[in-house]
Amino acid sequence: MTDFINFIKTIAREAGRIALTERRQFDDARIYAKGTDTDLVTDVDRKIEKFLFDAIHRQYPDHGFYGEETGITRPGSEYRWVIDPIDGTISYIHDCHFYSISISLQRHKKNIASAVYAPKLDELFHAAKDNGAELNGRPIRVSSRPTLRTSLVSTGFACVRAKLAANNLAKFARVVPKVRAIRRTGSAALDLCNVACGRFDGFWELHLNQYDIAAGQLIVEEAGGLVTDLTGGDHVPAEGTVATNRLIHNDLLKLLNDGP
């Protein structure tokens, strides 16, 4: 496992350096629409994903790969790498701090080693199954705030970007008056890591994909937190994603599902 973690940390930082270098010469000609006019990808997303694919294939040629931009290869492999080359592409386009490289290694589709790197912040989160989670080499734990009223929570609006009728706006309106404050960073991977290190007490979002949450989910769990779908089950992210410090989990689920 140590070899996996060291490799993940190395390629995450290298991918981050690519993101920072490319951003210095970035312009709107490098932006492309994927599905809608707000669902965007850049040539940097593709460049980073190719870098990660090539690095992983050289090191572990028998492993599978699931990337946001390139899809699934070797679907029958015991090991699979789940990659989001830039989680928070809109932030990257606008040169905001809140984007990340998200990398998770799965065995039999269970996360066993992960890293999330925020290049502009120079923050590297990582975790290994049953070995805890760290931020820049220091152990992290979820918060101990016991109530929604004392909690800072975060969310996102992938559902709105996808123009889905079942969106997050009504849930957002219910949660805002019941918590201390709410944030929206634009990177689900970073939101999950902020739960893991105790900055946020909870996070929820709809319409995410495996590559958005795989790395962050393991980091939250290894930091002592809980990640479920909106029913409290394990159909994450297909049935929504809710991550908390455990103490507020049931109350947040109730608020998201039933209202006040």
Ordered structural domains, the chain, with CATH: 2-139 (3.30.540.10), 152-258 (3.40.190.80)
Alpha carbons within 13 A on the beta-carbon side of 179: 26
pLDDT score for 165: 60
Other beta carbons within 10 Å of 74: 16
d(Cα 149, Cα 123) in Å, to the nearest integer?
A: 28
Give the torsion through C-alpha atoms of 108, 109, 114, 119, to 10 deg.
Answer: 140
Digit-coded pLDDT (tens) for 115-171: 999 999 999 999 999 999 999 999 999 999 999 999 999 999 875 555 666 678 889
In degrees and rounded to multiples of 5, residue 178 shows phi and psi of -100, -5
d(Cα 209, Cα 139) in Å, to the nearest integer?
A: 27
Which secondary-structure segment (H or E) carries 126? strand 123-128
Does the bond joining 139 to the residue before it have cis omega, within 30 degrees of 0? no
Query: In the structure encoding, which two tokens stand for residue 118, read together?
Result: 């925020």
Is 80 strand, coil or helix? strand
Alpha carbons within 13 A on the beta-carbon side of 131: 15
In degrees and rounded to multiples of 5, residue 119 shows phi and psi of -65, -40
pLDDT score for 130: 96
Pairing of strands 181-183, 152-155: parallel
Query: In the structure encoding, which two tokens stand for residue 203, read together?
Result: 């996070």
Q: Which residues of the chain, if any, have pLDDT below 70? A: 35-38, 159-166, 259-260
pLDDT score for 95: 94
